[in-house]
Structure 1
Amino acid sequence: MLRTIDLRGLTPSRTELSRLVPRAAVDIAAALDRVRPLVDDVRLRGEAALREQAARFDGVEGHGLRVSADRIRASLGTCPPEVRAALETLISRLRTASAAQVPEQRVTRFAGGAAITQRWQPVARVGLYAPGGKAAYPSSVVMNAVAAQAAGVPGLALASPAQRENGGAPHEAVLWAAALCGVDEVYAVGGAGAVAAFAHGVPGIGLEPVDVVTGPGNVFVAAAKRAVAGIVGIDAEAGTTEILVIADETAEPAFVAADLISQAEHDESAASVLVTDSSRFAERVREEIAARAAITRHSERVHEALGGPQSAVILVDDLAAAARVSNAYAPEHLEIQTREDAAVLELIDSAGAIFVGGFTPVSLGDYLAGSNHVLPTGGTARFSSGLGAHTFLRPQQIVSYERDSLSELAAPLRSLAEAEGLPAHGEAVTIRFERAGEGD
């Protein structure tokens, strides 16, 4: 488990580092060829296509594609009290943190009564996806729904794969989260078909098209998002989960090992990477992993993920070099456990979410920290951010000029219009003064 990449004594460029760091092999382009026919089928045949896909991929037939509001509310009767309390804590903390992401309206004023107002307008309708593969993800429902609600989105629809064990409805835990968040439009639809249904709508089941599709999923969900991008907005083409830990000999090996295992249990393709300047510390982490991976519930999955090419121990000369490796990798989750946490943090520019200190594990962010756990993967943290209220907001500029303020700019505006060969732009200003007997 955990192969070694030794970069000690080397000074690779960021480009070279991006080739050296381990990556999960996720080929969305290849999956797109398989997904496009599914998306087109839903666009053309709607409900019939969704039912055929449910039978083919989920092994479910004859179920209600839309879950009634009564069924959603009734699901709480099966929710264990401690789980409900935990979900309510998550919702409360996330609402507070998400509200802080909504910018205030700001007005910039110029002389003569001119003003530009910057406002942030929510989209009208959002499609939220919750996967249903190796685990149930009520926390992902909360992350998506609460962020959209904080932005002020009036229309929320949720889709999650039909479960044979739940009578064709989505996983019961998904329904608990929907009920607690106040989402009453839920569809038992999964995979690429769900993304297509959100983008194109399915009138037969009352599903109107949405403006933005968000939520994690497998490579086929990511490929479906790529297929509909431009028809609707998307949050990201999320891949398998990944964690990178920067640690030195002052860190607790058991903490680091447990955190690497915690993400490896998601999926056989999950990436767990340790970057350290201490070979002795690396060996102690390996020893802890060997002991813990053998007894964890998903031991086989963990062993495969940690032994895959996407996971590794990377040895570096110092913590500055560790930060350079991390920035080239741009991890979904970055943990910093060193004697100089603040100094290392200052060197970080690319990460989905950053967890600082030995008592801030990634699993805290997965559930109850108040941060959002829907984050960029596969190096996309170099140019994108995690899900938040901002995902559902559009900045709009409202421009308001009065006569005097327009008059001051009339001559320079005509000059620019002539320079660009667009004289009618200038004439649109001139006419306002000519009609008022104020030609200049």
Structure 2
Amino acid sequence: MEFSSNIKKLVMLVNVTNSPTESEAAEDAHQAMLNISIPQTLKYSGVRTQSGTDIECSANETILCDLGNPFKSDQKASLIIIFETSGITLFTEQITSQLQLSTISEQTDLLPVPVTLNVKNTVLTMFSLEKQVMDTSFSGSVIGESAMNSTRDVGSPLEFVFRVQVLGEPLGDLGRLVIDFEWPFAVSNGKWLLYLTEIVIRGQSESHCVPPGKIVNYLNLTLSKEGTKRNKREVESVYPHAEASVTVLTTRKVPQFLDCWRQTALCQSFSCPLSNMSTQVEVRVRARLWNSTLLEDYAKALRVEVKGKATLRLLTDKPAIKMENHTREFTVNVDPVLGEEKPYEVPLWIIIVAAVAGILLLGIISLILWKCGFFRRASRREMYEAKSQKAEIKIQPSETERLTEEF
């Protein structure tokens, strides 16, 4: 039987018949009784009949049902015995009971019938992630590993908060829960991506998960105060703005997707056992976005989307206990800071050539205008001659005046 804490009741179906055999005919059974032993893990709740007959049952140390007086020949009766499951625990592997018929009539083959129920416990859990999608950014200048002293020098802080809750009794010594991570620690060319700094487990006490292989804080950097928000002064001090007299922002391209499934990122697989939990625990995974990698390889990207996942599973050597695995994916959306993309500096020789070409073009235009006489000015002598010519112009006489003079 597959059992979980959600199952509150169990039923036992019992069929009783008084049928003839090949050697003997069926006879009425007087004062026929059914005795059912109650398992220690179950509690008697009630009985129902399916045959339409009125059968009464009482429970003390055992369940005693009066089948009728008499229980007639060729008669059949079906009973549903209802039990409460309050006594079943993770330690329960098997439930046994015994059924015994009795009658004052002569019958020698009424042997006890054992009933065995194998229990497979299913542990019910809840596995949640506080923020499945996180937004962050990158900016500033490239910093080499040798120049880094603390995790603050790496890049923007990230914190993933996982919560685990067991619905029911604690596992105890029967097993423990484990979170398996697929962590995108580097891009496909081997450069750092999400740099793990610390994994804190808060259950009955606080502890740290330190997987083998130097996965957490590989460079042994000094841990800075973690937080997903930084003030303006911290951003400016950690990532200084690039300065240039003449800058042209490069054009952004398509989004970039980094994950293990498309082999666009390199992932590390590691596990964190939740050994100090009772029924609930909180796991905080802290990391830093490697700012230099984003500046070098993804400065022109519209957005960089990084994906990883975590899976909750049960670790136990008890075959009767199992649990369904739960997987949660997490996404980090990384955007360049607006106006902080890597600038393109115009080379000095281009500026010099452009200035010389402008001067030459201006000289050529000026020369052409001069040849066309645009800049030529008239002399004073020419101006006076033009005035005197105007002054000597006389009015021509009319035809009448001319005829008068002739006569």
> TM-score band, normalised by the shorter chain?
under 0.3
Query: Could you say which structure has the larger radius of gyration?
Result: 2
TM-score, normalisation: structure 2: 0.19
Q: Which one has more relative contact order, counting CA pairs under 8 Å at least 6 apart?
A: 1
The structure carrying a bigger strand percent of its residues is 2
| Structure with greater helix percent | 1
